[in-house]
Amino acid sequence: MRFVHALVLVCLGLSIPGCGGVAGSSVTVLTLDDVPPELLAAARKKLPGVAFDTVWRKASGSYEIRGKQKNGKIREVDIEPDGTITEVE
């Protein structure tokens, strides 16, 4: 049992530093009020029923808008400043 606990801790320790976090990257955390209204409207049209709550602006100028469905599933929309949706997760 100790081996399993140690293995889990090692895996967590190895995965966290390289998990693609914000530190050292060119990503800006925004509020929904900071997103151009037409981009938020496009995200809501693409994923109706999702309660969007988190936004990042990437160095490229694109936005990643994230929220949850009523069943708890997290959904994301990547959208360019011109309104083009490039990815939906």
Q: How far is residue 11's CA from residue 24's CA, in Å, rounded to a whole number?
A: 22
Beta bridge partners of 52: 67
Q: Mean per-residue pLDDT for 15-28?
A: 56
* CATH code of the domain in which 67 resides: 3.10.450
Between 1 and 75, where is the model more confident? 75
Q: What domain range is 54 assigned to?
A: 26-88
Residue 16 lies inside a defined structural domain of this protein: no
Residue 14 lies inside a defined structural domain of this protein: no
**pLDDT reading at 31 higher than 50:** yes
Residue 59 lies inside a defined structural domain of this protein: yes
- Confirm whether pTM is higher than 0.75: no
Residue 83 lies inside a defined structural domain of this protein: yes
Q: What is the total count of domains within the chain?
A: 1
**pLDDT reading at 89 higher than 50:** yes
Q: Could you tell me how far CA 18 lies from the centroid of its own chain?
A: 16
**pLDDT reading at 28 higher than 50:** yes
Residue 50 lies inside a defined structural domain of this protein: yes
Residue 84 lies inside a defined structural domain of this protein: yes
